[in-house]
Amino acid sequence: MKRIVFGAVTFIGSLFAVKAIRLPAIASLHATPPTQTTNAPPAPPNKPIILAQSRFDAQLLQLTNEQRRRAGLQPLRLSSQLGQAAQAHAQDMARNNIFSHTGSNGSTMVDRVKKVGYSYSFVGENIAAGGATPQATIQQWMNSPGHRRNILNPNFTEIGFGYVAAPNTQYRHYWVQVFGSPMNPR
């Protein structure tokens, strides 16, 4: 049986809002409403969106694995496929000035993971918006029970990250962690 785990967190100043959902099967995913969506207009096309995925991957991996080490868990391996899915979702949220597990085209995390060819036995996603640094974002996720469960889930063996800085959008910073365990481990 495939398992899917979601988490979402928003950082705007000192505001903190969380909604986390654990779903038992893929069929449940499609019946679940988005965690949070904004109706703000997309960023103007002439304003560049700065992509910085590789800049933070190593730091996010180190910070995530430090939390896992403290809990006595194995470290996660970086997956380029999960990273592609995470980065695509971060870009989509920034381009469309939205914050949701559901993409602007209606795609789900499962859709995005399948699109990059990742065959999984477990998969999960954390999203965040507004936090300016990897340290602040990981700390906020660790302070949220649903996100903490994803980070410390022993079923996950791999991870990918997405990050976009979009200064002319509502949230400015968009972060995505996609967790997985491949169907056929290496």
Residue 1 has a pLDDT of: 47
Residue 169 contacts residue 93 (beta carbons within 8 Å):
no
Closest CA to 124 of 62, 66, 179: 179
Contacts for 59 with CB less than 8 Å, ≥ 6 apart: 134
* Tally of CA atoms within 13 A in the half-sphere of 78 that contains its CB: 15
The pLDDT, as a whole number, for residue 30 is 22
CA separation for the pair 22, 11 (Å, rounded): 22
150: Cβ contacts below 8 Å, ≥ 6 apart: 5, 7, 124, 125, 126, 141, 156, 177, 179
Helix (H) or strand (E) holding 91: helix 80-96
**pTM of the entire predicted model:** 0.75
- Find all residues with CB under 8 Å of 50, minimum gap 6, and list them: 164, 165, 166, 167
Task: Give the pLDDT means over successive 10-residue stretches in the chain (186 positions).
Answer: 47 29 27 32 47 76 98 97 96 95 96 96 95 94 96 97 93 96 82
11 close to 130: Cβ distance less than 8 angstroms: yes
Beta-bridge mates of residue 19: 8
Domains of the chain: 80-119+137-154+173-186 (3.40.33.10)
CA proximity to 99, closest of 164, 32, 18, 36? 36
